[in-house]
Homo-oligomer: A and B are copies of this chain.
């Protein structure tokens, strides 16, 4: 059985990790779709799809090794046209039996095409939030404890904090 989750993962954090851990209790294969794959170098989307693949692959290596879970990580470009969204995803990932999402629009679009949709496992979304982590990065706060240590490594390898700080500087 193969499950699909989709997120932007800017960056991949411990909330995502917990979610993956919960889902892979029920499924032995997991597809991680990286949304907004064409975007990078903005506050909302600082990391490229390639960098996000890198983060997630490293952070989930432990799962793959210890649980024998089969993992597929694939970038998915936004198409800005809801009516073709599900077909677009279907063409970019291996066949799947279940999609997990909390996004009402995604839920609706997949249900209209006949898919079964499950809610994401709950985690502390106040604490683990991409937006909050990016703000902490810009303001030199304590962000490292909120993401897996492999993600810290990748962000440091690509000088991610410096990139983010420069991008949000005012043009004056």
Contacts and interface: CB of A to CB of B under 8 A. Distances in A.
Nearest to A79: B84
B92 A70 contact: no
Q: How large is the interface on A (under 10, 10 to 19, 20 to 34, 35 or more residues)?
A: 35 or more
A49 interface: yes
A57 B72 contact: yes
Given A104-B166, A163-B108, A93 B50 contact: yes
Interface in A67-124: 70, 72-75, 77, 81-84, 86-88, 90-95, 102-105, 107-109
Interface of A: 37-42, 48-51, 53-54, 57, 61, 70, 72-75, 77, 81-84, 86-88, 90-95, 102-105, 107-109, 125, 157-158, 163, 166-172
